[in-house]
Amino acid sequence: MPLPRIPGFILVTKIGSGTFSEVYKAYRFVNSSKQVVAVKCIVKNELSTNTVDNIIHEIEALKLLRHPHIIQMIDFSWDDNFIYIIMEYCEGGDLSVFVRSHKQLHEKICKSFLCQLASALQYLRQHNIVHMDLKPSNLLLTSRRNPILKLADFGLAQSLKNRQRETSFRGSPLYMAPEILRRESYDASVDLWSTGVILYECLFGKPPCSSSSLKELVENIQSKAAITIPTTKDISADCKDLLERLLQKDPNKRMTFEEFFNHPFVRMSVASSNGAEPEAKLVFERAQKMDKWNRRSEAIILYRQAQTLLNRLISADVGTLRETHTRKMLDVCSRRIQEIESSEDVLKRNTLSVEAPLSRDLRANMSPTFQELHSLSSTTPDLLSSLEIGLEGVQYDGEGQHAVALERYKAALEKLIPLLRSESKGRRRELLRLQITLWMERAEQLQIIHDLQQSNLEELQSGDASGYCSLQ
């Protein structure tokens, strides 16, 4: 097997590995500056159809998610041997390593990590996404000192509304909810069980049902015996109550997401901004990075998110020295938003306008290039129907029905990407690769438009709110 190579990147150190993939620390140079990234290299010829589907799902999920406690995907590509997912780099490793190195974590540290995870989970619930594989090794840390937690690995994630049921077998047994192991139908609350296991492990150094064999582990989780909270370590009444309510083996007795987000151990007091400050700073710094790399559409969304967080910080810290620093960041956000919005080249591209028109490249999809690909696909029904779904997206896009267009593009890409992987070398493969690239770029533009609209709506809805909650 050849070594992974990706144009424009220098892979320097292997920092992790899985069954079919390895993760490298890597460098790339953008506008004369060096960017540190993580590159997940997935071996293509060892993948089953289900695994390929999971990888595509992870790519799609990461491209659309924007949250300070969710790992950010920067780009992805592939060659004959590997699929490459380029993500932001977290130098602190993962939470499992952090817990092992400290044996047991102080309750205050556990609470800080839990609040950050809860913030990410609240965002996922707003988008009806269930992670399905929450565990310490999927929680990355930005650094070893003052770490910020980032939720990663969305290969098993799926869309599931609060009361919607599912039956497929997903996740890691040690953190898997009992109802999944019992092969029963389940809902989004399986993520709450996994969160309880993670909190328990952080506090006591090992998961509540850890066993010497998989068979014993499954039996322990499946049994009706209640999870016992150890008395060997003093924890607060709120912490103990939360653990007991999360680790209910009967999903009907387990707390709801609303109860979780509003639990005293999770909910930050209105007067406290300790948890909010790193979140605001993180979003602000990411906005500046996107700005520096001339990715202005993403930068303006992040600047607006930072504005909302910074305004809430100011309301909680009136009259403090920290307020002065916060106002300086807020001034930068306001100035850059105004400058970007009035920038002539951005106005020409209209990537931030609800009336964003089709690019010339997209219009070209319906002329000779697209027609040639469409003609070459006449003997392959799956490919032909997928292209026609994408063409519907182009048509809706041209009519200004951007939400419908985005869904059509996503539906087409979901089918086309695996078809590309199995496509033989030749003219059709090259045309198909070009088509996928164009539709992915347009889908990403439309997603930015959607995110900006949501950001503005949330800002308006929270405008009359007093006080601050770090999980909002």
The secondary structure of 272-314 as a DSSP string is: --TTHHHHHHHHHHHHHHHHHTT-HHHHHHHHHHHHHHHHHHH
CATH code (residue 143): 1.10.510.10
- Give domain status of residue 4, yes or no: no
Is 257 in the same domain as 280? no
Is 126 in the same domain as 247? yes
Distance CA 70, CA 178 (A): 26
Question: Taking 50 as the threshold, does the pLDDT of residue 344 lie above it?
Answer: no
Question: Taking 80 as the threshold, does the pLDDT of residue 34 lie above it?
Answer: no
Is 103 in the same domain as 244? yes
Do 81 and 421 meet the contact criterion of CB atoms below 8 Å apart?
A: no
- Residue 99 has what pLDDT? 93
* Region of poorest pLDDT, from 60-64, 104-108, 421-425: 60-64
- Residue 193 has what pLDDT? 93
Question: Taking 60 as the threshold, does the pLDDT of residue 7 lie above it?
Answer: yes
Distance CA 248, CA 225 (A): 10
Question: Taking 90 as the threshold, does the pLDDT of residue 283 lie above it?
Answer: no
Distance CA 296, CA 285 (A): 14
- Residue 104 has what pLDDT? 92
Is 169 in the same domain as 299? no
Question: Taking 50 as the threshold, does the pLDDT of residue 329 lie above it?
Answer: yes
Q: Give the angle subtended at the CA of 223 by the CAs of 217 and 228, to the nearest 5°.
A: 85
The model's pLDDT over 101-128, given as tens digits with 9 standing for 90+, comes to 998 999 999 998 999 999 889 888 877 7
Is 110 in the same domain as 233? yes
* The token pair that represents 256 in the structure block: 């709801």
Nearest by Cα to 385 from 407, 415, 365: 415
Helix H or strand E encompassing 141 = strand 139-141
Q: Please enumerate, by residue number, every residue annotated as part of a binding site for ATP.
A: 44
Q: Which domain holds residue 18?
A: 9-88
- Give domain status of residue 471, yes or no: no
- Residue 421 has what pLDDT? 86
- Give domain status of residue 457, yes or no: no
- Residue 452 has what pLDDT? 53
Is 230 in the same domain as 249? yes
Is 286 in the same domain as 345? yes
Nearest by Cα to 136 from 69, 209, 195: 195
Residue with tokens 């009359």: 464
H-type alpha helices, 145-189: 178-181
Question: Taking 70 as the threshold, does the pLDDT of residue 314 lie above it?
Answer: no
CATH code (residue 76): 3.30.200.20
Query: What's the chain's average pLDDT?
Result: 77
Q: How far is CA 216 from CA 175, 244, 333, 466, in A?
A: 14, 22, 54, 51
Q: Is 250 assigned a catalytic role? A: no
- Higher-confidence residue of 144 and 53: namely 144
Question: Taking 50 as the threshold, does the pLDDT of residue 459 lie above it?
Answer: no
Work out the widest C-alpha separation in the chain, in whole angstroms.
Answer: 73
Domains contained in the chain, number: 4
For residue 469, count other CB atoms closer than 10 A to its CB. Answer: 17
- Higher-confidence residue of 279 and 222: namely 222
Given 62, 88, 114, the domain boundary residue is 88
Query: Phi/psi zone of residue 139: left (φ > 0), alpha (ψ -120 to 50 degrees), beta?
Result: beta
**Crossing angle between the packed helical segments 237-246 and 107-126, to the nearest 10 degrees:** 40
- Higher-confidence residue of 389 and 469: namely 389
Instruction: Determine which one of 75, 79, 80, 133 is catalytic.
Output: 133
For residue 4, count other CB atoms closer than 10 A to its CB. Answer: 21
- Give domain status of residue 267, yes or no: no
Distance CA 98, CA 94 (A): 7
- Give domain status of residue 2, yes or no: no
Q: In what side-by-side order are the strands of the sheet with 33-43?
A: 9-17, 21-30, 33-43, 82-88, 73-78
- Higher-confidence residue of 294 and 268: namely 294
Confidence of residue 203 (pLDDT cuts 50, 70, 90): very high
Is 168 in the same domain as 20? no
Q: Please enumerate, by residue number, every residue annotated as part of a binding site.
A: 44
- Residue 315 has what pLDDT? 57
- Residue 395 has what pLDDT? 76
Task: Identify any residues that bridge with 140 across adjacent strands, giving them in sequence order.
Answer: 94, 150
By three-state DSSP, how is residue 363 classified? helix
Given 298, 328, 349, the domain boundary residue is 349
CATH code (residue 285): 1.20.58.80
Task: Identify any residues that bridge with 39 across adjacent strands, giving them in sequence order.
Answer: 24, 86
- Residue 32 has what pLDDT? 64
- Give domain status of residue 381, yes or no: yes
Mean pLDDT of 89-111: 91
Mean pLDDT of 420-426: 88
Confidence of residue 457 (pLDDT cuts 50, 70, 90): very low
Nearest by Cα to 116 from 247, 268, 257: 268
- Residue 114 has what pLDDT? 93
Is 381 in the same domain as 441? yes
Question: Taking 50 as the threshold, does the pLDDT of residue 338 lie above it?
Answer: yes
Confidence of residue 242 (pLDDT cuts 50, 70, 90): very high
Q: How far is CA 65 from CA 125, 240, 265, 274, 433, in A?
A: 12, 32, 26, 24, 24
Nearest by Cα to 94 from 23, 194, 21, 193: 23
- Give domain status of residue 469, yes or no: no
Is 251 in the same domain as 365? no
For residue 421, count other CB atoms closer than 10 A to its CB. Answer: 14
The model's pLDDT over 351-402, given as tens digits with 9 standing for 90+, comes to 333 333 444 444 444 556 677 888 898 888 889 888 888 888 887 777 667 7
Question: Taking 90 as the threshold, does the pLDDT of residue 192 lie above it?
Answer: yes
Given 43, 60, 88, the domain boundary residue is 88
Nearest by Cα to 340 from 374, 393, 298: 298
- Residue 363 has what pLDDT? 42
- Residue 471 has what pLDDT? 31
Question: Taking 90 as the threshold, does the pLDDT of residue 253 lie above it?
Answer: yes
Do 152 and 138 meet the contact criterion of CB atoms below 8 Å apart?
A: yes
* DSSP one-letter code for 94: B
- Give domain status of residue 133, yes or no: yes
Distance CA 462, CA 466 (A): 8
Distance CA 51, CA 138 (A): 18
- Residue 262 has what pLDDT? 87
Is 178 in the same domain as 306? no
Is 291 in the same domain as 332? yes
- Residue 180 has what pLDDT? 80
Mean pLDDT of 166-183: 69
